[in-house]
Structure 1
Amino acid sequence: MSALARATSAEAAGAELVLVPLGSLEQHGPHLPLDTDTVIATAVAHDVAAAIDAWEVWVAPPVAYGSSGEHQSFPGTVSVGTEALTHQLVELARSLRTWAARVVFVNAHGGNVAALNASDELEWVPCANEPPLNPGADLHAGFTETSLMLHLRPESVRLERAEAGNTQPLREILPAMMNGGIAAVSPNGVLGDPTGASAAEGERVLGAMVADIVGRLS
């Protein structure tokens, strides 16, 4: 396994599997960087590739712009529409499959799911972050994502700015969120509470995500 961007054309020949991390560039509250989802997707993809040592696996550069319209009222968010994202991912998959046997997108942003499900040409796996895989998970920029970033790139976490947001279950806030985006249900953009987040918890969650995807791909 190697990063595809560093390979030569001859080295990439005969690839059995290419993993394409799929993230976003969107607000993650006052304390997490805009590329949080992309960082997580990339780390998961590389760890999955390392775990599948029986195959010839490559990890492509991430698709860093996702469908994040629900976050658009927050500065820093850069989003593409669902239809545009589907088109881009289909084109990428078609190109990759001219020389790779299998292409799988590793998705770390819920807003991308509609685009991924819009075409039967796309195979994808989630960086799953909900019970029973992660019993204590919250929705966005809370305990779970803060812990992951403390493990993966701690220098990007502004813990001194961390604050709780809306901690209601998704089913209770979804109608308002669908109509008015994240800002309608959480003025600070957080859906959860980062209190108590730790690198150790992030490492545990990352390992659970990787094991889940390895099982899905086997």
Structure 2
Amino acid sequence: MTTARQPGARPGLLAHRTWPTVPEESLVLVPIGSTEQHGPHLPLNTDSVIAESVARRTAEELAVRLTRPPLVAPVIAYGASGEHAGFPGTVSLGHEALHAVIVETVRSLSLWAGRVVFVNGHGGNIATLDAAVGQLRAEGHAVSWAGCGVAAGDAHAGRTETSLMLHLAPEDVRMTEAVAGDTRPLHVLMPLLTAHGVRAVSPSGVLGDPAGASAEEGDRHVRTMVSGLVGLITTGTTDDRGRLLAQEPAVGPDSKAAGR
């Protein structure tokens, strides 16, 4: 089976290939995002754009390291977004439907792919990914997942996501409409969000403050996320929920002595 690039195909993108050019036993990255409100200044597909961009750039980095170039599947653009249901434009599949989509996606991919990694851009998908990917691993599938989080980033549609979108899709960002929302930490807000939804906490839909966002900051965030995901895929471990975790350094007599 040939793996050569065909005319008009984009490197690594599964949707742009024909079946004879799809290498079997390949690593397939599946971006998963959402279609939900992101304040008055960011588009509904923000999470999907971020997940897909990180997946594509990770595939490019991995292409020079792997025998078979990795593939990026089309983004799963609907997630579990019930907490945003109070805003027009939000489309949520909910936990059960998303669980079924994840499970059947992997069962189908496993007929020809070697390994599947979900690249998640939406926090509301985490519980579903844990449950679905855990089930799939128990079935024997080679599947795991990782998120697109930014250390110390704000919760939703604030400076972090605004910077990312100014870098990835600046034409879709309306900075003149940007407003600050509830800036309390997510662990403080989570009980309120779970009980009452985002709109009851922040009428604008913003959890954070977009002020100070920049494309340059977004570029740095993307580079960090891609570097982290490459490391997780190539050297990380996977827990029983399918989460990719950084490999902890071995501890032995030599390492202990060096640390004194």
Shorter-normalised TM range: over 0.9
Give matches, 1:1-218, under 5 Å.
1-53=11-63, 54-55=65-66, 56-119=69-132, 120=134, 121=136, 122-130=143-151, 135=152, 137-218=153-234
Point out where structure 1 has 5 or more consecutive residues left out of the alignment: none
CA distance in 2, matches of 1:205, 1:170: 19
Residue deviations 1:191-214 (CA, integer Å, cap 9, x gap): 000001000000000011111111
Query: Any conservation in 2 of the 1:18–1:104 contact (CA below 8 Å)?
Result: yes
**Which piece of structure 1 moves more, 19-28 or 114-123?**
114-123
Q: Offset of 1:15 from its aligned partner? A: 4.1
Bigger relative contact order, structure 1 or 2 (CA pairs below 8 A, ≥6 apart): 1
CA distance in 1, matches of 2:51, 2:189: 26
CA distance in 2, matches of 1:45, 1:64: 14
Residue deviations 1:179-200 (CA, integer Å, cap 9, x gap): 1111121111000000010000
Which residue identity lines up with residue 59 of structure 1 in the other structure?
V
Alignment size in residue pairs: 213
SS state of the match for residue 113, structure 2? Answer: coil
Query: Any conservation in 2 of the 1:15–1:57 contact (CA below 8 Å)?
Result: no
Query: Any conservation in 2 of the 1:24–1:66 contact (CA below 8 Å)?
Result: yes
SS state of the match for residue 103, structure 1? Answer: strand
SS state of the match for residue 178, structure 1? Answer: helix
Point out where structure 2 has 5 or more consecutive residues left out of the alignment: 1-10, 137-142, 235-260
Which residue identity lines up with residue 53 of structure 2 in the other structure?
A
Q: Offset of 1:215 from its aligned partner? A: 0.8
Percent identity over the alignment is: 54
Residue deviations 1:143-199 (CA, integer Å, cap 9, x gap): 010000000010000000001000001122211111111112111100000001000
Q: Offset of 1:74 from its aligned partner? A: 0.5
CA distance in 1, matches of 2:223, 2:187: 27
Residue deviations 1:28-87 (CA, integer Å, cap 9, x gap): 000000000000000000000001022220001100000000000001000011111011
Which residue identity lines up with residue 24 of structure 1 in the other structure?
S
Query: Any conservation in 2 of the 1:147–1:197 contact (CA below 8 Å)?
Result: yes
SS state of the match for residue 155, structure 1? Answer: helix
Q: Which of the pair has more CA radius of gyration?
A: 2
Q: Offset of 1:123 from its aligned partner? A: 1.5
